[in-house]
Amino acid sequence: MSKSTINDVARLAGVSIKTVSRVVNRESGVRDATREKVEKAIAELNYWPNQSARDLAASRAHLICLVYDDPSAYKLPSSGYIIRLQEGVLRVCRSLGYELLIHPCNYRNDDVESELKFLIQRARPTGIVLAAPLSNIPKIVRAISATGTPLVRLSPGQKLSKEMVVATNDREFAAEMTCYLASLGHRRIGFITGHPRHKAVGHRFEGYKAGLKASGLTFSEELVAAGDNSFGSGEAAALKLLDRKSRPTAIFAANDDMAVGVLRVADRLGIRVPDELSIAGCDDITLAEQIHPALTTIRQPFAAMAEKATLMLVKGTEESEAPKGTVIVPGALKIRESTGPAPG
């Protein structure tokens, strides 16, 4: 292991440490010949700058903090979501020389706010990427904002704001899914709404209505059942929808967990999927692909969103003008086995 310092490099290259620093930091105004000398010395000594020293001297930390709802606080099958977020942030961090600090946090705790302030004070990150659903919780957003740390929120219901937000187009792709179902010949397309506090799923409901209209179908309360994003509520809603005299030939659930619930109910009732009933979800959870029949759903671009968010944070810090406003990263339909032509 090398433990050579900038001094060693400077001595070997026959320049001052400042010049080495310039080369390392890719600053302009270094003659090519000099740069090469220094680079050779760096390579030879296997030198790598001491991050602590850099951060201290420049009084800035090369650190991005990703804050998300703690999955260990309760049985959450959402680990895939988190991994994808991490993936996106890491991609940017690696390429730009930042480090990633992950902070699962339980918003049900009374002291989340001080926990976050504590974290920020301790780590002094360059910026924070705040994942949903935390990004929708005012007290959390406020606690972070109060510290003055740059913050990018992920998909907090897409309402435009002056803060930095990265969202996806829930409304649009829900409409697209609805149109897709209609294009398969379905006329009675049911919808299962999600948890009222979860804004994104609200947008999907709107998208569903828009899709119906775009396909020349009329909206009917008859075809809507309420869920709360949970598997169980999906089952209950499915039971309700499928019990009706003229039952839907397709059911679009506001998220995959509920869609899987529908799938289970259909199985139990002996309704063949997709022959007799098409089922679509939203989120593309890991299970969606493993279940049988594989679930048609919408893949949320979590990694891409996180990547974008991190980029905004870094750009905002390194360049003078911090990017503001909402950036949309579109989701993509994943057509799999659970949807097919309308029966009859």
Task: Report strand pairing: 99-105 vs 164-167.
Answer: unpaired
Binding flags for DNA, 224-263, as an x/- string (CB under 7 A): ----------------------------------------
Task: Report strand pairing: 189-193 vs 332-334.
Answer: unpaired
Stretch of 49-57, 76-84, 88-96, 131-139 lying at the interface with DNA (CB under 7 A): 49-57
Please give the helix or strand (H or E) that residue 171 lies within, else none. helix 170-183
**Any contact of residue 71 with DNA (CB under 7 A)?**
no
Instruction: Indicate the residue among 1 and 160 with the shorter CB distance to a copy of itself.
Output: 1
Q: What does the angle CA 117 – CA 118 – CA 123 come to, to the nearest 5 degrees?
A: 100
**Any contact of residue 95 with a copy of itself (CB under 8 A)?**
no
| Number of CB atoms found within 10 A of residue 222's CB | 14
How does DSSP assign 304-316, residue by residue?
HHHHHHHHHHHHH
Kindly tell me which residue out of 11, 17, 35, 104 binds a copy of itself, with binding defined by CB under 8 A. 104
Say how many residues touch DNA, by CB under 7 A: 29
Stretch of 45-53, 166-174, 175-183, 230-238 lying at the interface with DNA (CB under 7 A): 45-53
Report the phi/psi class of residue 18: left, alpha or beta, with left for phi > 0 and alpha for psi in -120 to 50: alpha
Buried b (16+ CB within 10 A) or exposed e, 80-99: ebbebbbebbbbbbeeeebb
Q: Please name which of 184, 226, 338 lies closest in space to residue 271, comparing C-alpha atoms.
A: 338
Q: Please name which of 250, 336, 257 lies closest in space to residue 296, comparing C-alpha atoms.
A: 336
**Any contact of residue 5 with DNA (CB under 7 A)?**
yes
What, of DNA, a copy of itself, none, does residue 102 touch, CB below 5 to 8 Å by kind?
a copy of itself
Task: Report strand pairing: 164-167 vs 189-193.
Answer: unpaired
Instruction: Indicate the residue among 118 and 318 with the shorter CB distance to a copy of itself.
Output: 118
Restricted to residues 118-177, the positions that interact with a copy of itself (CB under 8 A) are 120-124, 147-149
Within 8 A by CB and 6+ apart from 80, the residues are 285, 286
**Any contact of residue 58 with DNA (CB under 7 A)?**
yes
Kindly tell me which residue out of 51, 114, 145, 183 binds a copy of itself, with binding defined by CB under 8 A. 51
**Residues near a copy of itself, by CB under 8 A:** 1-2, 46, 48, 50-53, 55-56, 61, 71-72, 75, 77, 79-80, 82-84, 86-87, 90, 99-102, 104, 120-124, 147-149, 231, 260, 264, 286-287, 289-290, 292, 303
**Residues near DNA, by CB under 7 A:** 3, 5-7, 14-19, 21-22, 24-25, 28-31, 33-34, 47, 49-50, 53-54, 56-59
